[in-house]
Structure 1
Amino acid sequence: MTQSRRNAPLSPATRAAQALRHIDPVTGSVTPAIDLSSTFARDADYAPRQRYIYGRDGGPTVEHAEAVIADLDGAARTLLFASGMAAIAAMLETLRAGDHVAAPRVMYHGGQTWLHRVAERRGIEVTFYDQADPEGPKAALRAGQSRILWIETPANPNWDIVDIEAAAKAAHDAGALLFADCTAAPPCTLQALRLGADVAFHSATKYMGGHSDLTAGALSLAVDGDLAAELRQVRSLMGSVIAAFEAWLLIRGLRTLFLRWEKASSNAMAIAHAMVGHPNVAQVLYPGLPDHPGHAIARAQMQGGFGGMLSLMVTGDGSIARDVARFTEVFIPATSLGGVESLIEHRKAVEGPYSIVPPQLLRLSVGIEDAADLIADLTQALERAG
């Protein structure tokens, strides 16, 4: 007998597009509803009617968004926060004095700044390793003392690639957790937990939301255990849960994640090839290019394209790079990434005091516009600035 299509396994793309096949049982609505309540009435026996008590612990809409992300990540539990930095702060709040963290030398600058803060104020030790060195993560670990091995892949803004399976083995051998920042490679392309990570972090503001209209952070955990319980407590006490409306926007964004990723990846690859050999571009940093040092690992780890993030090292000094960002007319000079619109950023100008990013680097977040328009825009800006 032919298996019913309804009973056949559905692909992640289908599950995301239908928000886990949410159909309202009363109205038949195919769009998830928003529950904006900040508090929930108890029943006649003064018992909670469900698991919801107060909005600081989340609510139905937040839990729906968490369920979609957990499904895509293959996570035992996902916790959503009001921003990526709120999620990072919650994770670092689980550290105790004397704990050690190994983290990349080139990484998201907000996370790096917070790591310096906890090191200076709370007795946490941090070692920053060379993320481009395959042995860097392992060499930075301290057996029995390291609590977290932090990786970011692809690493912002150089787009170095870290072998997640190798990093997981190194972390676990040292008794540490592997914390993987997957912001530039959401679960439509990278399954960090299945490769051995203990926590997958996403700035859900970026590709997951995808429309530059919300801020959110997500921590997806391989095990729903003590760490998950502590993070829930920290989130509640800090009041850093995502609001219901932003959670609803996030669900909406997740429903088109696979389509947006495919188009952004295609556009970025076209731009990367067009910029290779341009007289005003010294180097194109994109893991989709065969000569990228991490290309083989990226190809093995990432499915459905290499994403929309790439960087250009322009010829000349930092002032020329800054001029290119000023002269674009289709690319928008703005911070953030992963939206439907293409952005350009002179990264050195916005990173913090610990940044070692070269002043000649331009970070591009490639959106879903026509690739020919984007290439023409970069070409005219490079020629005008050069």
Structure 2
Amino acid sequence: MAHPFSFGTLCAQPSADPRTTRPHQLPIYATSSFAFEGLPEGMQVFSGDQPGYLYSRFGNPTIDAVAAKIAALESLNLAGKATAYLLSSGMAAISTLCLALLKPGEKILIPNNLYGGTNELFAKILTPMGYQAVIGNLREEAALRRQLQADPSIKMVYFETPANPTLSCIDLQMAADAARQAGAYAVVDNTFATPYLQQPFLYGAHFVVHSTTKYLNGHGNSTSGAIVGLDEALMKEKVFPALKLIGTNCSPWDAWLLENGMKTLELRMERHCSNAMQIARWLEGQPEVAKVHYPGLESHEDHQLAKKQMCAFGGVVSFELKGGAAAGQRFVSGLQLCSLAPTMGDVDTLVMHPASMSHLRVPPEQRRAAGITDGMIRLSIGIESPQDLIADLKNGLGRVAKGRRI
């Protein structure tokens, strides 16, 4: 039977969906928009009277399915459920949340040891727009409460725990309680721990953000971020409109890659943590190492706190070399197995020199005050054989020792 349409029309029209059974794996809905059966359906979906999809910036089945999984993981042990949105990156998650919740003139209270990119966002983008970030002591309850009480314009308390790259920890319960009582939002970056190791909502946090590029994905093949909140109305009425109108949404492809990565999250985190503990203990005995930062070590100042609010201690180990910046540069040049890369959370081991990479644009005095010394090295421990990793680290330390003898 002859087809009623011409060649060009057939090319341009969407192909018919031949599916008769449900797919086993989540499909990628690679479409910018969604078609309606007729105008009445379109009107009902646009008005919100009927659930449905309109345009992928407003929502997409692939993206929403993955966001729902992250929300379920973060609220697994809670009576209520969380709501999550996927965004184009972790930085998109942080900036969108701040713009959604805060008004110009309101302040964000932060510790002095945030990830360098977050520091830059607050200092160079949000502060000129009127959203001032102020540094405070989030580790001591009395100091935190005094600062919140003295400045009612502080409407958000934002922090990482463990912090990047010092791995210092903040008491989630204490900080969240202080923020709530002051009428401020408590926002926790849970990228390093993931919901497998730590669930900030159990301790009273209002919002959790992730760079899902890191451990949740785990394979270094996509970029995305997440905002998770317990107040569904607040998420839908404030956070979602900001995401939709600023256009910081995730792509279906990146969401699908994230979905595949999360399938092995528990298994990967167990190996990351096991390897990291073994390597941290080994580094403590090396003569070229001045100090090792890992919450799993009894020598870490926040070891007991980490034990209280984490079920294991993560896959990142930082350490300080005795020779400063020169030693750090010699160390990374002596590695063969570990890759020099400005990210973390992948299945293979990654190394970074924060003073010349992630925190290069942070003022040196602020960086050093935060404990990020010129000789600090951050290791994102992968799932390789720990013996192979230690052998490679020996090569790097050998290069440091040789340089000190010259």
Same fold? TM cut 0.5 = yes
Q: In structure 2, what is the equivalent of residue 12 of structure 1?
A: none
Partner residue of 2:389 out of 367, 374, 386: 374
Q: In structure 2, what is the equivalent of residue 385 of structure 1?
A: 400
Partner residue of 2:373 out of 336, 354, 358: 358
100-109 vs 125-134, which moves further: 125-134
Query: 1:29 deviation in Å?
Result: 3.6
Query: 1:353 deviation in Å?
Result: 2.9
Q: In structure 2, what is the equivalent of residue 344 of structure 1?
A: 351
262-271 vs 36-45, which moves further: 36-45
1:328 aligned onto 2:329:
no
Partner residue of 1:183 out of 191, 195, 214: 191
- Residue identity over aligned pairs, in percent, reads 32
What is the distance in 2 between the residues matched to 1:297 and 1:287? 9
What is the distance in 1 between the residues matched to 2:260 and 2:165? 27
User: What letter is aligned with 1:359?
Assistant: D
Give 4+ residue runs of structure 1 displaced > 6 Å after superposition.
none
SS where residue 258 of structure 1 aligns? helix
Partner residue of 1:202 out of 210, 213, 221: 210
Query: Could you tell me whether the CA contact under 8 Å between 1:97 and 1:123 is conserved in 2?
Result: yes
Partner residue of 1:310 out of 313, 317, 326: 317
Q: Which runs of 5+ in 1 are unaligned?
A: 1-24
SS where residue 79 of structure 1 aligns? strand
Query: Could you tell me whether the CA contact under 8 Å between 2:122 and 2:132 is conserved in 1?
Result: no
TM-score normalised to structure 1 length: 0.90
Q: In structure 2, what is the equivalent of residue 57 of structure 1?
A: 58
Q: In structure 2, what is the equivalent of residue 144 of structure 1?
A: 152
Q: In structure 2, what is the equivalent of residue 32 of structure 1?
A: 26
Query: 1:300 deviation in Å?
Result: 1.2
What is the distance in 2 between the residues matched to 1:135 and 1:330? 46
Query: 1:132 deviation in Å?
Result: 5.1
Query: 1:239 deviation in Å?
Result: 1.4
SS where residue 284 of structure 1 aligns? strand
Query: 1:44 deviation in Å?
Result: 2.1
User: What letter is aligned with 1:276?
Assistant: E
Q: In structure 1, what is the equivalent of residue 116 of structure 2?
A: 109
Partner residue of 2:85 out of 76, 79, 87: 79
1:161 aligned onto 2:169:
yes
What is the distance in 2 between the residues matched to 1:227 and 1:38? 23
User: What letter is aligned with 1:224?
Assistant: E
Q: In structure 2, what is the equivalent of residue 15 of structure 1?
A: none
User: What letter is aligned with 1:353?
Assistant: V
75-84 vs 334-343, which moves further: 75-84
Q: In structure 1, what is the equivalent of residue 69 of structure 2?
A: 68
Q: In structure 1, what is the equivalent of residue 295 of structure 2?
A: 287
Query: 1:347 deviation in Å?
Result: 0.6
**More helix, by proportion:** 2
User: What letter is aligned with 2:86?
Assistant: L
Query: 1:226 deviation in Å?
Result: 2.7
User: What letter is aligned with 1:250?
Assistant: L
Query: 1:144 deviation in Å?
Result: 3.0
Query: Could you tell me whether the CA contact under 8 Å between 1:101 and 1:146 is conserved in 2?
Result: yes
Query: Could you tell me whether the CA contact under 8 Å between 1:134 and 1:162 is conserved in 2?
Result: no
Query: 1:140 deviation in Å?
Result: 3.6
Q: Residues 323 and 270 of structure 1: is their aligned pair in 2 closer, same or farther, counting only changes over 3 Å?
A: same
CA deviation map 1:1-37 (0-9, x unaligned): xxxxxxxxxxxxxxxxxxxxxxxx9535432111111
Count of residues in Structure 1 that have an aligned counterpart in Structure 2 = 361
Query: 1:58 deviation in Å?
Result: 2.1
177-186 vs 126-135, which moves further: 126-135
Query: 1:173 deviation in Å?
Result: 1.2
Query: 1:47 deviation in Å?
Result: 1.9
When Rg is computed on C-alpha atoms for both structures, the one with the higher figure is 2
Q: In structure 1, what is the equivalent of residue 234 of structure 2?
A: 226
Q: Residues 251 and 135 of structure 1: is their aligned pair in 2 closer, same or farther, counting only changes over 3 Å?
A: farther
Q: Residues 381 and 132 of structure 1: is their aligned pair in 2 closer, same or farther, counting only changes over 3 Å?
A: farther
Q: In structure 1, what is the equivalent of residue 282 of structure 2?
A: 274
TM-score normalised to structure 2 length: 0.85
